[in-house]
Structure 1
Amino acid sequence: MEKKSWRLCSWMESSLPIMGMVLAVTALAVNMIISKIAMSNGTSFFIISVYSNALASLILFPCGFLFNSSKRPPLTFPILCKIFLLACFGCLADIGSYAGIKNSSPTLGTELLNLVPGFTFILAVIFRMEGLNLRRSSDISKCLGTLILIAGASIVTLYKGPEILNKVHPVDPHALLSASKQNWALGGSLLAFAAFSTAAWSIVQTSILKIYPSEMAIMALYCLFVTTQSTVVALIAEKDLDAWKLQAEMGLVAVVYAGIINITFRLYMMTWCLSRKGPLFVSLFNPLTIVVSVVIGVICFQEVLYLGSVVGALILVIGFYAVIWGKAKASKMDKNSQVDNTTNVESTSHEVPLLQDKIEEV
């Protein structure tokens, strides 16, 4: 009985990160669909960004600064500047994502999320955070995967193709996602820009965590800075003060869901899984967002599924896993080289005293 209970506990413990990431990607896909419906009903995506991040700040600040204050490292001005820069990229990614979804569809938004690993690899090479050696198969895989990602993104952005599931019926009030005006090229460009901003966000976040390893405090300050920045952008972009009133019910639902579920819960869940399984494990769940978004959009909201989306999604997934495979192989090679170096150092340290003993005997 003890062995069975131990195995059950071990299985549940190993399954929790998997369930956590499934919940995280589901939360993201549902947020894109709810936001699309709210924007189709007249809610401004600038206002959704402001209110949702403000709500997340109210939730995260007590958790980030009132609890575990003794374990938190001191907060300095350079760290605040880096978190502010992090928020700039987060604000661009947030607004770019909402604007892209408004002009296209949640399915395209989830498909272009797969550009993030490729953009991250390019930025890491530019800022010398990662080496590039075309003689190594891992680096070749990452380069080819990045090119495949760009090709897939171009297909889903520039080519719609025939309708596979559902058809556009503007008269049908239930076709909330399909009836709104769409500009596929503009929406795809904005979503690609949001993916690039997300990649830059991950680069800056990595540098911050090295000097300030307090995830909850960083998230709290991050949401506060994003709220401030998005408010400034919204005041400039939205001339009509009535836009700040959430008159439509879906607008309020979008704000509450985005603030509590998409930002607070999803970011914390991803951080929790990241600390236990690493970035590779978290990245592997990105393509699942496409599946969740397509299933919910097509079945529940009669979203139109185009051939270009299916073909482009398949190419994006291939490129995504090529980059991830290259990263996994490179990290494995680095670990093996570190082990070899440690072994050499240990063998040298054992040999030196023996030589010294021989010299002393002479």
Structure 2
Amino acid sequence: MKACTPYIGMLIVQFAYGGSNILCKLALENGLSYLVFIVYRHLIAMVILAPLAYLYERKNRHSLSLAILAKIFVLALFGTTIHQNLYYAGLDYTSPTVASALASVIPVLTFILATLLRMERISMKNKKGRAKLLGTTICISGALIFTFWKGHQFKGFVEKPLIVVNGNVHAHEAEHERHDWIKGSVLILTSYIAFSVWLILQGIVYKVYPAGLSMNTIICFFAALQSSVLALIFERNSSSWHLSWNIQLVTIIYCGTFISCLAYYLQTICVHEKGPVFVALFMPLLLVIVGVFSAICFAERLHLGSLIGAFMIILGLYCYLWGKNRDTVKDEEDKDIEEQDEMFSKIGLQTQS
């Protein structure tokens, strides 16, 4: 059961992100300022995580140094402040389905960064190395097709949206020109680069400060602090800070509890146990989760470019997975050989003595 825990944890994370994408789209359409939203959600998460960190990690928590705090500050900068501000700015120009589909490039970006940092091995001399490189190329090509080409429009699952925002979802999307749609996609892609950097840095920081709850509490503190500065500069409307019981407040509570609190912690543990690329490989599930929900509830239409791009993204992803799995098998075989050699060496020494 313990071996399955990272897989179950990442499934929970993807369903949580799927719900977040839909709720955030609704809240943004209803006037929620994403700058204020990011501040509030991390304050909520900090209030939840702080007592849990004190209860469960007070005996095993490592001491905090200025160097560790600086690393966590940078971690919060990439994973929350840069990533989320760009992401929500982009989400205001496009749909949750597009945002979720573009998330499929996160495994590729994470793999590239891990390779540059020598956390992943790649060689053109063997099949697994070529499969990784080919998968990376196909996945990036699919993301570009999904982003920049629509093509023929297909009939959706439902004729009318079950959830209507500002009168009509399609009418709102029609307000945006094509360059606005591309702008949103570029912003989201840039935010995913920051997210990939965050996954890499999480593994590095956790090694020097192995306290997941405490680390994420500090991340939420720095995220709220950094985003407050941005909000005070760019969000001049004081009424944006006022909350009432509506979809905006529901979204803030949901994201603060299930994303900034639960998902952050589960990701940190999974990065520590399985590595950043493992966590990134689960991101394409958002395409299925949000795509189905949006098609049913928002009556979103599928396009030829979306289908071809999604197919290429999935094909490239699992082409990479095949190469990654072969690497894992090879590592396990090498480890077994090393253990056997070590055992025989000990037996030989005991015999000689």
Name the TM tier (shorter chain): 0.7 to 0.9
Residue type at the aligned position of 2:310: A
Paired residue secondary structure (2:154): strand
- CA change 1:15–1:256 in 2 (3 A) is same
* Aligned partner of 2:16 among 12, 17, 27: 27
Residue 82 (structure 1) aligns with: 71
Residue 102 (structure 2) aligns with: 112
- 1:94 Cα deviation (Å)? 1.3
1: CA distance, partners of 2:56 / 2:238: 38
Residue 41 (structure 1) aligns with: 30
Asked whether the 8 Å contact 1:86–1:204 carries over to 2, the reply is yes
Asked whether the 8 Å contact 1:145–1:318 carries over to 2, the reply is yes
**Worse-matched range after superposition: 233-242 or 16-25:** 16-25
Report whether the alignment pairs 1:176 with 2:165: no
Residue 151 (structure 1) aligns with: 141
Equivalent residue runs for 1:159-238 within 5 Å: 159-166=149-156, 173-176=166-169, 179-180=172-173, 181-182=175-176, 183-238=180-235
Residue type at the aligned position of 2:15: T
Residue 130 (structure 1) aligns with: 120
**Worse-matched range after superposition: 254-263 or 269-278:** 269-278
- 1:66 Cα deviation (Å)? 3.8
Deviations 1:181-226 (A, max 9, x none): 4422111111111211111001111111222221111111111111
Asked whether the 8 Å contact 1:160–1:306 carries over to 2, the reply is yes
TM-score (normalizing by structure 2) = 0.87
- 1:283 Cα deviation (Å)? 4.8
Residue type at the aligned position of 1:24: V
Residue 262 (structure 2) aligns with: 265
- CA change 1:124–1:21 in 2 (3 A) is closer
Residue 85 (structure 2) aligns with: 95
CA RMSD of aligned residues (A): 2.8
- 1:325 Cα deviation (Å)? 2.5
Report whether the alignment pairs 1:293 with 2:290: yes
Asked whether the 8 Å contact 2:32–2:248 carries over to 1, the reply is yes
TM-score (normalizing by structure 1) = 0.85
Structure 2: 5+ residue runs without aligned partners?
none
Asked whether the 8 Å contact 2:139–2:313 carries over to 1, the reply is yes
Q: How many pairs does the alignment contain?
A: 344
Paired residue secondary structure (1:75): coil
Report whether the alignment pairs 1:335 with 2:332: yes
2: CA distance, partners of 1:20 / 1:334: 24
* Aligned partner of 2:308 among 299, 302, 311: 311
**Worse-matched range after superposition: 237-246 or 82-91:** 237-246
2: CA distance, partners of 1:165 / 1:250: 29
- 1:151 Cα deviation (Å)? 0.5
**Worse-matched range after superposition: 66-75 or 45-54:** 66-75
Asked whether the 8 Å contact 2:57–2:213 carries over to 1, the reply is no
- 1:352 Cα deviation (Å)? 3.8
Paired residue secondary structure (1:194): helix
* Aligned partner of 1:241 among 227, 238, 248: 238
- CA change 1:165–1:42 in 2 (3 A) is farther
Deviations 1:36-74 (A, max 9, x none): 111112212111111111111111111123433002222
2: CA distance, partners of 1:29 / 1:211: 31
Report whether the alignment pairs 1:139 with 2:129: yes
Give identity over the alignment, percent. Answer: 33
Asked whether the 8 Å contact 2:110–2:276 carries over to 1, the reply is no
Structure 1: 5+ residue runs without aligned partners?
1-9, 358-362
